[in-house]
Amino acid sequence: MTRPVTEPGRTGRPAEHRPFAAGWTVFAAVMLIAAGTMAVFQGIAAITKDSLIIVTRHYVYSMNTEGWGWIHVILGLVVAAAGVALFSGAPWARGVGIVVAVLGMVANFLWLPYYPFWALVLIAIDAFVIWALCVGPAGRSADDA
């Protein structure tokens, strides 16, 4: 015989609502922190005019790599901070996480001509983060909302 989901567990205590993040939210938080850290390193490489970044002149949009490096450093710090905020489980942190992941995707799309493989990896991470944050809080169903 099966018990209903709302019935107390073996300990006899009712199921408790945990305020901290769980499930896909933890995945998204870890990925945001990782993506933010990688974006900071990417920006530092561009600021120091590292030979890792190849500048070409035949694209529709061309940008100063040092300026874009600063954009990546600042955006990376904001993305990592959003990942840390997601661990609190606050509802506003999910929205902020989605917004900064979208901004990260746009920045890395514009970064494609300069370092395509790295930009594609960060775009994919941001896409997974957006998906993880949109599936909803872990452990809650549509009936609970």
Give the HSE-up count for residue 83: Cα atoms under 13 Å, Cβ half-sphere: 23
pLDDT digits 0-9 by tens, 40-60: 988 888 888 756 565 666 665
Choose between 134 and 21: higher pLDDT. Answer: 134
pLDDT tens across 89-117, in order? Answer: 777 888 999 999 999 899 888 888 777 88
- Does the pTM surpass 0.95? The reply is no
Is the sign of the CA dihedral 63, 64, 66, 71 positive or negative? negative
Percent above pLDDT 70 for the chain: 68
Tell me what pLDDT residue 105 has: 92
pLDDT at 141: 45
Chain CA centroid to CA 82, Å? 8
Quick one: which of 130, 110, 129 has its CA closest to 120? 110
Q: What's the length of the chain?
A: 145
